[in-house]
Each structure stands twice: as structure tokens, then as C-alpha cells.
Structure 1
Amino acid sequence: MGFRNGRRRVVLAVAALLAVAAIAATVYRVLAPAEVSTVATRAYPAPAQPSAGVIGRLPAAPLIVDGRLRVYAAHRQVYADRPVDARYRNTPFWSYRRWPAELVGVVATGTTVVSRWSDGRLVALDARDGRVAWRADGPTPAREPAARRTGAAVVWDAPGLYLTRAADGRDVVVATGDEEARGVEVAGGRELWRAALAKGCRSDVGTTPSGQLVGVDRCAGPAAVEFRDAATGAVTARWRPEGAGDELVVTPVGCRVARSGCPALRTAAPSDAAGRGWLLDGGTPVAAPALDRPDTQLVGEQAVGIVDGVLVGRSARTGDEVWRRPDLGSGRVIAVQPGRVHLLTDANDLVTLDPATGADRSRFTLTVGQDGTGYVPGAAYAADGYLAVERLRKPVDPDADDQRYYLTSEPLVLAAT
């Protein structure tokens, strides 16, 4: 009898151990760090050539890549759909997901999409098929974007993630954190440099087209603008505008996208509504009074903005007026891109102009279906001839949940200009 009881206890113990092992294996499979890459099974699309006008509505903010794809951000996923001029969001062309890290930023150059994650990891994807091109370690982000449902803050203004082109022609992605910055070559993911940053007394501004990371450094005295070579990580210059106080607010101007590739900046004291505009020509910044107004944009050589209720284009270098459009009525410039200025009127008509001449390139009402024009424009993004705008419900309540904050469940309107 004792032998049978002993054997029963052994069997029960083994069964319990097997059950614990099975549970542990299941928990590990569910919770262990992992990545899932779903590559494209269809051909890479050709560039689209849509006629000017509204294309459709989208639930998430698109990043236009290579003029062929739309790339989106989710909580733990970056994915693409095609074609770029589809009326609605389509089944993913490719997808990349990580766990448990969260997606905090996405930038793209050419056919390379670089994603940044909450653990600092950088993962580059080939836009043509979604395959992982390279992985690299980066600094832990200083902050994560306050991303709402559309993900616009992740794909249109990724904090601490910038692109630029070095003097030798290499594309470089720069990632910054609280105490460190790193530069990585886009072509192969090779780390070019890493540099320590003083915590709590420095902030990013963006990158220039000439291969510099720009920041504001207030660690060793009055605030100064710091220029760092994006190819080597070396600080090449520190500059303070004449008459600047101890504090300094610096805003990038004319950026290719978000805060990358910015050929100008605006400096101001924290309490100033206006400021002083400067062109970044690779040396000491050059004063550009035409860029002083905070609502003025830089497109090529032209400073474009509303002056006394009229849209005016002036030479950024001389300040001379080149053209004016008093016939457009009131509105505001919501986005610019090479060769295009996008003005949204108070009636939510979109007028796209040539920045060199002020002539119309296209004009139409920025609405889709039966949605109407009773919305407030939110974040906007322009690239490759396309424009996407968030539509917010009136009156705008920044503290409201997404259902109340956005006009509809598909709040993005996408247009070809």
C-alpha cells in the first residue's frame, strides 16, 4: 500500500511540474520580447500621378514614402499600404511589429524607413518589401510623443529622431536622448558616433540640409545655439544672436519634413511673440528679417506668410517683396513643400501656389463625401505633391477623448495638389 501511495505522489508531482512548465512556456511565448515581420507579397507599386483634388479620408496619419507608399504608426507596429492615392486605407502591403517596446518615431528617406522604439532600438525597413534592412542600438528616448489615435506625432514630428545628409553625401539618422546622441549611417546601419549630452540643460532644434544637428545648450552659462557635425558627432560651433538674453527659444524654419533638413531658424526670448529669422548657410547664421514673423514659412528662396491679411512672398535674403495675393482672402499657410505653398482659407478651401511667383497650382474645397467644411484644421503634412490634414471638431478641446476631439472616425483628409 505504501509503495502505491508513493508512486501516486511521484506521478502527481511530475504532472504538477509539467503543468507549471507548460504555463511558463505559454507565459514566455506571450510576454517574451519578440518581433514579427510580415513582408510584401505583391509588387512594389509605380509612382502615382493623380489629378489635383481630394483623394479620400484616412483613420491614421500617413508618411508618404518614395511617392509610392503610405506608412503608418500603431502602438507597437509600423506598416504600409498601397497605392499612395487609394481613397481609403487598404490591407497592409507590409508590416513590422515589436513587443513589448512601443513605437515612438518614424522617418524615411528614399526607400528606407527608420523606426525608433521606446527601448532605444532603431530598426530600418526596406520600403520596397518591408524586410528588415538593419538594426542598431540607440539612446533611450528622452520623451515619448503624446500620440493620439491618428499617430501624427509619431510619423510627422518624431521627437529626438532626425535625418540629414553629411558633406560627403551619406544620409545620416541622428537619435537623441536625455544623456546621449548617436549618429547612424542610413545605408547600412553602421554607427558613426555617439556623444554624451548634459542632462536637463540642452534641447534639440533639428537638423540642417548641410549635415548638422542643431540644439540649444544652456549648461555652462546663457543659452547658445550649438551646431554638431552629424557625420562625426563633434561640436563645430556655438552661437548666440546679438542682444539675446539668458534664455533663448529656437524654432526651425523651412524644414524638409518635421524638424529634419531645416535651412533656417527663428530665435526669440521666451516671452516674445515674434523673433528674429536666420538663414543657415553652413557658417555663421545670416540675419533674414523676412522670416521674423512666427507665421512665415521658407520655401526655397522665398519667405511666404500673411502680412496685414494678405499672402505675400518675399526674398528671404533681401526682404524684397516678390509677389502678393490680396484676392485670396483670409486664411493661413498650413504646410509647405518644395515648389508648393498650401494656404487653407477660413472657408477650408485649399489653395496651392508656386512659391516663386505666387501663381495658383490648384484650388479646391478640402472636404470629402458629405463631411462638409465645418472643422478646424489640426496637424498637417506635405510631401511629394500630397497634403494630409487632421480635421478637428468645433470647438477644439485638447483634453477631450479622441471621439470628441476628431471630426469623424476617419479624420485625415488626403489630397493631391
Structure 2
Amino acid sequence: MGFPKGRRRLMLAAAVLLVAVAVAATVYRVLAPAEVSTPATDGYPTAPAPAPGVVARLPVAPLVVDGRLRVYAAQRQVYADRPVDHRHRTTPYWSYRRWPAELDGVVATGTTVVTRWSDGLLVAVDARTGRVAWRSEGPTPERERTARRTGAATVWDPDGLLVSPAGGRSVVVTAGEDSLVAVDLADGRRLWRADVDGGCRDAVGSTATGRVVSVDSCAGTAEVEFRDATTGTVGTRWRPPGTGAGLLVTPLGCGTGRVGCTALRTVGGSGDDAAQGWLLGAGEPVAAPVLDRPGTVLAGGTAVGIMDGVPVGREARTGTERWRRGDLGGARVLAVEPDRVHLLTPANDLVTVDPASGAQRSRFALTAGSDGTSWAPGAAYAVDGYLAVERLRVPVDPEADDQRYFFTSEPVLLAAT
């Protein structure tokens, strides 16, 4: 004896509805926007003082924060490990993940790690605890972030994400398709918003005197504008001699992420593509011919470049030669800090010198284990006496996939100098 026909239909419909609700709930749990914050459970580590040499071999690019942590970027996650001088990557000290947004850039100042996401949201994480300090809405990034598997572009050279000192505070500036937005680093409070025309105004860095530098080509002729980081007011608009619509600006003397820059190199003009170097101050840039030559960098007040095949340091304002290292013929400048110049020899020895005198601070082979030195340097980064560099397979093929492009499965070396 079975159920009446009508009742069977009702039961079947109820079963179908129940399954549909269960599937919908599962899909929502999987696909719904979400964030997962996993704070630190251990105490904040002390800052080590490792001897000069390679301290770690890593699969991804680290951002050294407060001399204590290494912070990494994944597609939808930012996370930290410690200690900073551990030989390999370790279990995360803390982690922050979002879905379905993707991580677009990371900057760090003091103990605050600021992340920018593909939907424009800014999320600050306290590096000491891994807890979210604040969230703030920002503009959607103008371009989709593309980064190789090390994530170096995301943590060492974030596009459209800057930090600027400004009147005793730090200001986070984020640039997007239609606006520039600035928030206070301390609490994420919005300070100002400036509407911009997408595609014709690019933020290129921030200065040590609290100004945001951008290139404005919206009117056809490119100009460099200097905007007060606290108020958003454009105080100076400046155009290098002979500049046309194709102006290219390279910030010099900056911290990681083009922060606190002290000089510029400009290229462009009406048939004149000669590079010109400029020192930055409170007013218009001042010509510094010693910085004209491509490849010349600025460390403190010293312009460092390769002349006649050897590293040379010259006073940035006058061009007066301060030092010359004839014993380092064939070396190249890998990265600089205000108090250090990191040079890589043809044999892949890392030589760190004082920028003011050229005196050697340390020298060692940039290798780990039995990897050897038959590799070419890729992206590099230096802060607080640490240097990290990508190792690329020789011959370097930028079009190759990551397995062929990078030297090993752990292509990033971290060294103390």
C-alpha cells in the first residue's frame, strides 16, 4: 500500500526543495565574500642581529618588517613568519585572507602592514599581533596586478599604493581608475580624495618632504605635479625642459614602494630623449647632472653608478667624486639603502659598501647550500641591512614560464649585510 499520488508529488517537491536549499547554502559558503583573520598566538619576536651572510633561501619574496618578521603575498592572502633570519619559510605567525578579492599590493611602515585589494579595499594589519587594525574604502586599481610566483612585484614594487610622511604623521595614498585617496596610517580615517582621469595621471612616488608625485598628461603636454600628502592640494606643477606628452619619470633615493624619494630622473620631450636628473626639496626640482646617466642610483647624498666599468660614488649636488672601487671591476649595483650600497660582482659575490666613503662593510658569496652561483639577478630589495634578490636561470628568458624562469624552486635569497 503506497502513498496517494498527490502526496507523493508533494513529498518529491519537498525533497527537491530541500536539496536545492542545501546546495545553495553550500555554494554561498564557498563563494560568498569572506575574510579569515588568523592572529598570532605567540609573543612578538625580538630582532636578531645575524652575522653577514645568506640567512635564508625562500620560495617567495619577503618584506622585512620591523627587523623581526618576514611578510609574504599570495593571490588572496598576506601572511608573516619568523624569525626573520630562519633558514627556510616557517609556519605562519599570522595570516589574513580575503575572498574573492585578490591581493594587489602591500606596504609596511613601522609595525603596520597595509594591504590593497582588487576591489579597492585597504586593510591594515598590526604586524605585532596579526589583528586587523582598520579597513578603509579606496579606488579600484586601474590595472590588474600581474606577478610571478615569488610575489616580488606585490611586496617590493606595489603599483598605486604609497606611504608618505606628512607633518608628523604617515599618510597612505592609493591611486585607482578615477581617483586618488589618502587615509591616515594610524586609524584609516580618510583625509582627502582627488578625482583623476583614468589613464592620463600616474602616481609615481612620494617625497621625503610629504608630497605625492604624479605625472599628469591629461591636457596633452605632460607635467609633474606635487600634491600635499595631508590635504591633497597641488602646490607645484613642473615641467622639465623640452617635455612633451611622453614624459617618463623614475623616482630615485626611495624606500621600498617608491616611498620618501629624494630625486627624480626624467626622460622625454620633443625629439629629445636625453635623461635628466633632479634633486627634490620643498620647491621645484633642482638639476643634478650627476644623476642623468641611466643606472645611477642615489644613496643618502651620494650618486652611485658604474663608470669605466667600476663603481663610483659622487656627491649628488656637485658631482664631486667621493670614491672609486677599481677592485670591483664588472660589479653592478643591486640595491641601495641610505647607509649602504649593495654591489654584485660577476662571480655573484655580494659586496656592501658605505655610500659616503666606499669603505667595505661586508663581502660574501651570494649562495645557499650547494646551489652555486651560476644564476642572474632578478628583482632585488634592501631594508634595515637585509637584502633579498630573485635568482634567474641563465640565459634569462622573460617569456618563459616560472619553472624555467627561476633558478630553483626556492629562488629568493635573503642576506644580512
**TM > 0.5:** yes
AA matched with 2:284: T
Is residue 293 from structure 1 mapped to residue 285 from structure 2 by the alignment?
A: no
Alignment partner, residue 63 of structure 1: 63
Select between 400-409 and 211-220 the one with higher mean Cα deviation.
211-220
SS in 2 for 1:318: coil
Deviation at 1:221, TM superposition (A): 3.5
Structure 1 letter corresponding to 2:17: L
Q: Summarize deviations over 1:142-176 as a string: whole Å, max 9, x none.
A: 1133200000010000100001111x211011000
Q: 4+ residue stretches of structure 1 with deviation over 3 A?
A: 270-274
Q: Given that residues 274 and 293 in structure 1 are in contact (C-alpha distance below 8 angstroms), is that contact kept between their aligned partners in structure 2?
A: no
Note the 1:385-400 alignment, pairs <5 A. Answer: 385-400=385-400
**Whole-Å Cα distance in 2 between the matches of residues 382 and 124 of structure 1?**
22
Residue in 1 that maps onto 2:211: 212
Give the distance between the partners of 1:138 and 1:66, measured in 2 at CA.
Answer: 26
Cα deviation, 1:104-155, whole Å, max 9, x if unaligned, reads 1000000000000000000000000110000010000011332000000100
Kindly indicate whether the alpha-carbon contact (under 8 Å) linking 2:242 and 2:268 is maintained by their aligned counterparts in 1: no
CA contact (8 A) 2:242 2:272 kept: no
1-structure distance, mates of 2:326, 2:2? 103
Decide whether the 8 Å contact of 1:296 with 1:306 is kept in 2. yes
| Count of residues paired in the alignment | 416
State yes or no: 1:230 paired with 2:255: no
Partner of 1:134: 134
Decide whether the 8 Å contact of 2:210 with 2:228 is kept in 1.
yes
Secondary structure of the corresponding residue to residue 47 of structure 2? coil
Q: Distance between the aligned counterparts of 2:152 and 2:274, measured in 1?
A: 27
Instruction: Give the aligned partner of residue 47 of structure 2.
Output: 47
1:6-405 residue pairs with structure 2 within 5 A?
Answer: 6-166=6-166, 168-269=167-268, 274-405=274-405
Q: Secondary structure at the match of 1:24?
A: helix
Could you tell me how far apart the structure 1 residues matched to 2:329 and 2:211 are? 39
Counterpart Cα distance in 2 of 1:345 and 1:258: 26
**Aligned partners of 1:144 and 1:159 also within 8 Å:** no
AA partner of residue 214 (structure 1)? V
The one-letter amino acid paired with 1:256 is: G
Match for 1:210: what amino acid? T
Partner amino acid, structure 1, of 2:268: A
* Bigger shift: residues 107-116 or 300-309: 300-309
Task: Report deviation, 1:261.
Answer: 1.3
Secondary structure of the 1:330 match is coil
Query: How big is the shift at 1:412?
Result: 0.3
Alignment partner of 1:135: what SS? strand
CA pair 2-370 structure 1, distance change in 2 beyond 3 A:
closer
CA offsets, 1:35-83, max 9 Å, x none? 0001101110001100001112000000000110000000100000000
| Runs of at least 5 residues in structure 1 that lack an aligned partner in the other structure | none
Q: For 1:401 and 1:66, how far apart are their aligned partners in 2?
A: 34
* Matches of 1:174 and 1:114, distance apart in 2: 11
Provide the TM-score with structure 2 as the length reference: 0.97
Q: Which amino acid aligns with 1:28?
A: Y
Cα distance in 1, alignment partners of residues 118 and 93 from structure 2? 24
Which amino acid in the other structure matches residue 406 of structure 1? F
CA distance in 2, matches of 1:85, 1:123: 27
Q: Give the secondary structure class of the aligned counterpart of 2:163.
A: strand
- Judge conservation of contact 1:107–1:161 (CA < 8 Å) in 2: yes
Encode CA deviations 1:353-390: one digit per residue, 9 max, x unaligned.
00011000000110111111100100000011100000
> Counterparts of 2:98 and 2:400 in 1: how far apart (Å)?
29
The aligned amino acid for 2:336 is: V
In structure 1, what is the Cα distance between the partners aligned to 2:362 and 2:2? 93
Q: CA deviation at 1:242?
A: 2.4
TM-score norm. by structure 1 comes to 0.97
Q: Quick one: distance in 2 between partners of 1:110 and 1:236?
A: 28
Confirm or deny: 8 A CA contact 2:262 2:280 kept in the other structure: yes
Q: Conserved in 2, the CA contact under 8 Å of 1:224 and 1:238?
A: yes
Q: Take 1:132 and 1:182, find their aligned partners in 2: how far apart are those partners? A: 20
CA distance in structure 1 between the aligned counterparts of 2:44 and 2:202, rounded to whole angstroms: 39
**Which shifted more, 88-97 or 209-218?**
209-218
Give, in whole Å, the separation in 1 of the partners of 2:69 and 2:25: 39
Task: Give the secondary-structure state (helix, strand or coil) at the position aligned to 1:67.
Answer: coil
Q: For structure 1, which segment, 267-276 or 181-190, has the greater mean C-alpha deviation from structure 2 after superposition?
A: 267-276
Alpha-carbon distance in structure 1 between the residues aligned to 2:386 and 2:333: 15
- Which stretches in structure 2 are left out of the alignment for 5+ residues? none
Identity of aligned residues (%): 68
Kindly state the Cα deviation for residue 243 of structure 1 after the two structures are TM-superposed. 3.1
CA root-mean-square deviation: 1.4
Cα deviation for residue 284 of structure 1 reads 1.0
**Is the CA contact 1:274–1:294 (under 8 Å) kept in the aligned structure 2?**
no
Residue 257 of structure 1: how far off its partner (Å): 1.3
Q: What's the offset of the Cα at 1:272?
A: 6.7
Q: Aligned with 2:410: secondary structure?
A: coil
Q: Which letter maps to 1:357?
A: S
* CA distance in 2: counterparts of 1:272 and 1:85, whole angstroms: 48
Shift of 1:244: 2.8
Which SS does the other structure have where 2:400 is aligned? coil
